[in-house]
Structure 1
Amino acid sequence: MSDGPSEIVMELVSVAALAENHTIGRDGELPWPSIPEDKKQYRARIADDPVILGRRTFESMLDDLPGSDQIVLSRSEQEFDVVTAHHARNVEEAIELAESLGAETAYVIGGAAIYELFQPHLDRMVLSRVPGEYDGDTYYPAWSTADWQLESETPYERFTLQEWVRTDRD
């Protein structure tokens, strides 16, 4: 029996939709026609947990905010007119904030710079793989299959949902 406090272990999961060439966006929008079935499963997955996102992604979702709380990474100290929005200056602060909310899982939902910053910290990736290559200006970061294992693949009509688990941690 341990004398020290028990440590809360929160799972950090990245959720994204990406084309075969890792494109995730163009001019702030999806580069492919809307896939309602993907949006539905995505929204259901993240509905009851905190999400971590960048300021521009947060602002683009203000009309329909995802997650139970939004942890917004921004270089400048900011206040938000949304009671569930919290400011974080860096990755460590965002993770601490999510843990302080009592979350078992926190979802990283973009944009591209946020995905890149959190990639080394992720435990899992849930990726909607959209067939085809699309022109874009934002991309999901590459990952080494030596560090990740494809745990499951579920085909849908216009995308395949993949769940990847990090294998390079004890």
Structure 2
Amino acid sequence: MDLVSVAAIADNRVIGDNGELPWPSIPADKQQYRELIADDPVILGRVTYESMLDDLPGAAQIVLSRSEQEFDVSTAHHASGVDDAVAVAENLGADTAYVIGGAVIYELFQPHIDRMVLSRVHSEYEGDAFYPEWDGEQWALDSTTEYDRFRLEEWVRIDDE
């Protein structure tokens, strides 16, 4: 299973402010993000899931929550932790699952992910949610694509073996 963290982050690692994006909407980023994750399951926290109910991303949503719960959406599945979320994705027949937030979920999955696809939004913003720091010696920048207001970076974990 390939675990990929996908996030839009400001130069100061801010990813959110009071449950919202801290920068004005960037349509090109939203489009590439939705296209990237469209055909695979996404792993997200309950609050992030609830904030996206009107336009759910991914082919299925694996919602991490401390309490077992049922969802009114047929594509939504509960998971209690990292191993459970991976097992749900594998049971769905997925080769790849995308970790899409929020901050606690990114932090929880950081030691387990294989790749990061980061939209690096130009500038610093005020916020209360941050993308976790990572050890630069464990990661290699694989590709970059420049856009008008952001740079798309793909990072791959360096295999120690």
- What does 1:16-31 correspond to in 2, within 5 Å? 16-31=7-22
| CA–CA separation in structure 2 for the residues paired with 1:30 and 1:15 | 14
Count residues in correspondence.
161
| CA–CA separation in structure 1 for the residues paired with 2:20 and 2:107 | 19
Offset, 1:27: 0.8
Q: In structure 1, which of residues 117, 121, 137 is the aligned counterpart of residue 128 of structure 2?
A: 137
Larger radius of gyration: 1
CA RMSD of aligned residues (A): 0.7
Which shifted more, 160-169 or 45-54?
160-169
| CA–CA separation in structure 2 for the residues paired with 1:169 and 1:47 | 31
Offset, 1:169: 4.3
Structure 2: which 5+ residue stretches go unaligned? Answer: none
| CA–CA separation in structure 1 for the residues paired with 2:142 and 2:159 | 14
Matched, 1:118 2:109: yes
Aligned to 1:31, the other structure's residue is in SS state coil
Q: Percent identity?
A: 71
Q: In structure 2, which of residues 33, 37, 56 is the aligned counterpart of residue 42 of structure 1?
A: 33
Q: In structure 1, which of residues 72, 77, 93 is the aligned counterpart of residue 84 of structure 2?
A: 93
| CA–CA separation in structure 2 for the residues paired with 1:12 and 1:169 | 17
> What are the Cα deviations for residues 78-102 of structure 1, in whole angstroms up to 9, with x where unaligned?
0000000000001100011101111
Matched, 1:84 2:89: no
Amino acid corresponding to residue 101 of structure 2 in structure 1 = G
Which shifted more, 60-69 or 160-169?
160-169
| CA–CA separation in structure 1 for the residues paired with 2:130 and 2:85 | 22
Structure 2-normalised TM-score? 0.99
Matched, 1:105 2:96: yes
> What are the Cα deviations for residues 54-95 of structure 1, in whole angstroms up to 9, with x where unaligned?
000000000000000000000001000000000000110001
Structure 1-normalised TM-score? 0.93
| CA–CA separation in structure 2 for the residues paired with 1:17 and 1:146 | 22
